[in-house]
């Protein structure tokens, strides 16, 4: 029987970047609504078993209660039994459980950070990523019903993964030859050690950016590189750029409604699996996908590597188009 998993982060879309820009905030009641639409779209396309990550707002339980009350729920839906820590480790733990259960597809509701936390645990489970705000690069703005339908197509096992999914890039970060963290989109070295807010947003503190992809249509730090050099998902390289050099002055969309002038050096192409060693000149922090996580000291050597070891991302339109051609939706 086909099965899918749902991870909904109750705290995504509520960081300081919402206070310094005009970003959209998706509240937890709307996340419940999105989960309900995913459940309905998936079950109506044949998914029998659905597993949901528990959370502090009880998004999964509320969605189940609402659809049970309206008598619309026909699939078996279960909230995972796991210890809650109310931090990103919940996402990583739930993703690991779902991977071990060999579910057919995983849907993650959240921002770049939520998807990064899930990516730490999944290797073979196809991923559909739904954005819950406007300050995101990795997840897509997708209607929940459509996401549920696409997950059902993938979980059916009728279609080859390599035809409807692609393996994403990621940035691997090493200290002393030990992998210490990853980023899906960007890693930013900042000289600001204060972590009152984990979200990084002050351009004056930024030293260097490493990206796996970059485009001027993105919102956030990767757009700085993207406004000088476009790097697409399918490109087998990433790039780094020094923000202490003043060779170029560009305009970049740093947050929703916030376009800033940024001075930067020439982007350096980083080929897949090639080590880029950065020797720090001060104390600071590395922000991964927008959140400060990794402290560093002066004269440390940090190695960054762009690899094709990221999540197996579902191409939603391709999955639905292939299913349509094959008569999957005929009843």
Q: What is the pTM of this model?
A: 0.93
Question: How far, in Å, CA of 207 to CA of 240, rounded?
Answer: 11
Half-sphere exposure of 324 (CA within 13 A, CB side): 8
Across 320-329, average pLDDT: 97
List, for residues 229-273, the tens digit of each pLDDT value: 999 999 999 999 999 998 999 999 988 888 999 999 999 999 999
For residue 310, pLDDT over 60 is answered with yes
Sign of CA dihedral 13, 260, 140, 211: negative
Tokens 């770049």 belong to residue: 112
Q: Per-residue pLDDT averaged across 278-291, rounded?
A: 92
- 148-160 pLDDT, tens digit each: 999 999 999 999 9
CA separation, residue 53 to residues 58, 145, 176, 245 (Å): 9, 19, 34, 44
Taking residues 185-199, what's their average pLDDT? 75
Residue 15 has a pLDDT of 56
The per-residue pLDDT for 205 is: 84
More confident residue, 272 or 1: 272
Residue range 306-323: average pLDDT? Answer: 98
């Amino acid at each position: 029987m086909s099965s899918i998993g749902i991870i909904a982060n109750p705290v995504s879309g509520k960081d300081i970047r919402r206070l310094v820009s005009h970003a959209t905030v998706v509240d937890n009641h709307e996340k419940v609504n999105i989960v309900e639409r995913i459940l309905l779209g998936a079950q109506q396309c044949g998914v029998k078993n659905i597993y949901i990550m528990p959370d502090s707002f009880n998004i999964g339980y509320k969605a189940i209660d609402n659809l049970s009350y309206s008598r619309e729920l026909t699939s078996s839906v279960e909230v995972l039994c796991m210890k809650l820590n109310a931090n990103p480790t919940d996402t990583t733990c739930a993703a690991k459980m779902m991977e071990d259960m060999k579910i057919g597809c995983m849907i993650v509701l959240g921002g770049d950070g939520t998807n990064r936390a899930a990516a730490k645990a999944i290797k073979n489970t196809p991923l559909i990523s739904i954005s819950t705000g406007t300050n995101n690069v990795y997840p897509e703005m997708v209607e929940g019903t459509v996401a549920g339908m696409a997950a059902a197509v993938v979980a059916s096992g009728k279609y080859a993964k390599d035809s409807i999914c692609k393996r994403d890039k990621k940035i691997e970060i090493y200290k002393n030859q030990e992998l210490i963290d990853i980023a899906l989109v960007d890693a930013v070295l900042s000289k600001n050690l204060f972590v009152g807010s984990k979200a990084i947003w002050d351009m004056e503190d930024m030293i260097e950016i490493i990206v796996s992809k970059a485009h001027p249509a993105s919102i956030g730090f990767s757009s700085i590189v993207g406004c000088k050099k476009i790097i697409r998902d399918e490109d087998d390289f990433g790039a780094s750029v020094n923000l202490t050099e003043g060779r170029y002055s560009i305009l970049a969309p740093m947050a929703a409604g916030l376009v800033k002038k940024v001075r930067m050096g020439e982007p350096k192409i980083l080929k897949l699996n090639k080590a880029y060693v950065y020797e720090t000149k001060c104390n600071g922090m590395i922000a991964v996908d927008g959140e400060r996580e990794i402290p560093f000291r002066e004269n440390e050597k940090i190695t960054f590597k762009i690899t094709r070891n990221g999540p197996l991302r579902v191409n939603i339109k391709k999955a639905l188009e292939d299913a349509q051609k094959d008569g999957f939706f005929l009843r």
